[in-house]
């Protein structure tokens, strides 16, 4: 029964993803898979993707990211220092502001509110909530709501960006770049036979598995994705033999959408209704994160607008990185900045939020 449930979930997600792709919606593959899976689960409560799939899905995402990293990307890492500082400072300030607003205008306690608005991973923040005396379920649901909000907002934002870019002097070039979003992949090179391409693909998968499993087993957060990306990037930079494909990208995006979508069922939807005020504050906070941080990055760095928007999106590392590939943004930079955000949140935010909660409670 479980196997048929998984297959049915993937079929539903694939239908949604392919429809979204066919309609040429920005990030439509993942968004369509997510929405179809949510609807399937809300009405039938049958969506199921095993949790054990996540690290392997992250490794495949790492292949897509690592195979696109060039020597130019490595040389340009120094230009991410200022954007990184800007992102972290804005992130902390906005988290405190919106966490306090959520506490003041809802029935949630301060620790839960601060963790619900923290730009970390859904699972990580839920576990930290249990340790810091917050409520795990509201934190989980609000982070799920944030992911769904980001998936809904980013296609709309990129559609507006496309209109803006087509109206200025660089419109034609920008329009062409956005129109071809998601079409690039590390396919076989000119003169490479099918046998050579298959061999290089197998080497890429083996290297990705080695790097991903190593960091995963070491317990590093998002280690499967980071390890596979670094390993494949090293393979690509040293030998040029890293390979990925457009079909694999589509498959990973569909499974990622299904993986997130299965978390929303009828029961959770009912609980979301009880969290209406926190969800509204979450919507405003996501808009503020994207707007303020992306504007700061555009002013203070040489990064393109699409990349700045994706860097500022407080979503999941894997999901936002996959969106960067699909939207033809600078995916390696998005991955580096999103990884930095995740590490800062996991390393510093528990202590920071505890200190802030104690200070605010004292006042």
281-306 residue pLDDT tens? 999 999 999 999 999 998 888 788 88
Q: What is the pLDDT of residue 183?
A: 42
Q: What is the pLDDT of residue 7?
A: 95
Q: Is this prediction's pTM over 0.85?
A: no
**Confidence tier at 157 by pLDDT (50, 70, 90):** confident
The H-assigned helical ranges of the chain are: 2-22, 28-44, 53-66, 71-75, 81-104, 110-116, 122-131, 136-167, 171-179, 194-217, 223-239, 246-261, 266-274, 276-288, 294-300, 305-312, 317-326, 331-362
Q: What is the pLDDT of residue 42?
A: 92
The C-alpha torsion from 187 through 52 and 330 to 98, rounded to 10°, is 160
Residue that is written with structure tokens 């980071």 in the block: 226
**Mean pLDDT lowest for which of 21-35, 159-173, 334-348?**
159-173
User: Among candidates 59, 57, 52, which has minimal Cα distance to 229?
Assistant: 59
Q: What is the pLDDT of residue 82?
A: 87
User: Rounded CA gap, 38 and 41, in Å?
Assistant: 5
**Mean pLDDT lowest for which of 62-76, 256-270, 339-353?**
339-353
| SS3 call for 199 | helix
Whether the pLDDT of residue 172 is over 80: the answer is no
The C-alpha torsion from 65 through 31 and 304 to 146, rounded to 10°, is -100
Q: What is the pLDDT of residue 101?
A: 94
**207-216: pLDDT as tens digits:** 999 999 999 9
User: Rounded CA gap, 23 and 35, in Å?
Assistant: 14
Q: In the numeric block, which tokens belong to residue 290? A: 């994207």
Q: CA angle at residue 290 from 285 to 292, to 5 degrees?
A: 90
Return mean pLDDT, the chain. 84
**Mean pLDDT lowest for which of 111-115, 160-164, 205-209, 339-343?**
160-164
Q: CA angle at residue 325 from 74 to 261, to 5 degrees?
A: 130
Whether the pLDDT of residue 179 is over 60: the answer is no
Q: Residue length, the chain?
A: 363
The residue-averaged pLDDT of 39-45 equals 93
Q: What is the pLDDT of residue 127?
A: 67
**Mean pLDDT lowest for which of 141-145, 152-156, 187-191, 359-363?**
187-191
Whether the pLDDT of residue 171 is over 70: the answer is no
First to last CA, the chain: 55
| SS3 call for 25 | coil
Q: CA angle at residue 278 from 88 to 257, to 5 degrees?
A: 70
User: Rounded CA gap, 128 and 350, in Å?
Assistant: 7
Sign of the alpha-carbon torsion through 261, 266, 272, 273:
positive
């Amino acid at each position: 029964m479980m196997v048929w449930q998984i297959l049915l979930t993937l079929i539903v997600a694939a239908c949604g993803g392919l429809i979204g792709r066919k309609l040429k919606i920005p990030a439509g593959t993942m968004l369509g898979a997510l929405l179809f899976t949510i609807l399937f689960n809300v009405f039938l409560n049958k969506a199921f993707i095993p949790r054990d799939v996540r690290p392997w899905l992250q490794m495949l995402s790492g292949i897509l990211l690592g195979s696109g990293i060039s020597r130019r990307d490595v040389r340009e890492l120094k230009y991410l220092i200022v954007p990184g500082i800007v992102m972290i400072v804005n992130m902390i300030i906005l988290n405190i502001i919106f966490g306090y607003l959520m506490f003041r205008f809802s029935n949630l306690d301060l620790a839960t509110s601060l963790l619900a608005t923290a730009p970390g991973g859904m699972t990580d923040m839920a576990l930290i909530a249990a340790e810091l005396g917050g409520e795990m379920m509201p934190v989980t649901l609000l982070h799920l709501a944030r992911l769904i909000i980001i998936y809904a907002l980013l296609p709309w934002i990129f559609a507006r960006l496309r209109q803006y870019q087509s109206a200025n002097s660089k419109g034609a070039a920008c329009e062409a770049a956005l129109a071809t979003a998601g079409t690039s992949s590390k396919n076989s090179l000119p003169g490479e036979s099918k046998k050579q391409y298959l061999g290089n693909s197998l080497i890429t998968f083996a290297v990705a598995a080695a790097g991903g499993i190593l960091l995963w087993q070491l317990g590093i957060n998002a280690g499967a994705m980071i390890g596979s990306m670094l390993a494949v990037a090293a393979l690509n930079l040293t030998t040029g033999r890293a390979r990925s494909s457009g079909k694999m990208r589509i498959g990973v995006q569909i499974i990622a959408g299904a993986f997130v979508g299965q978390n929303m069922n009828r029961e959770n939807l009912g609980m979301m209704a009880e969290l209406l005020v926190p969800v509204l504050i979450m919507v405003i906070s996501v808009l503020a994160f994207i707007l303020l941080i992306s504007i700061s990055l555009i002013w203070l760095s040489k990064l393109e607008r699409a990349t700045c928007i994706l860097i500022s999106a407080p979503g999941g590392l894997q999901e936002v990185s996959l969106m960067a590939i699909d939207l033809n943004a600078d995916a390696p930079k998005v991955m580096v900045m999103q990884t930095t955000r995740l590490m800062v949140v996991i390393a510093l935010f528990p202590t920071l939020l505890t200190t802030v909660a104690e200070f605010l409670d004292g006042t």
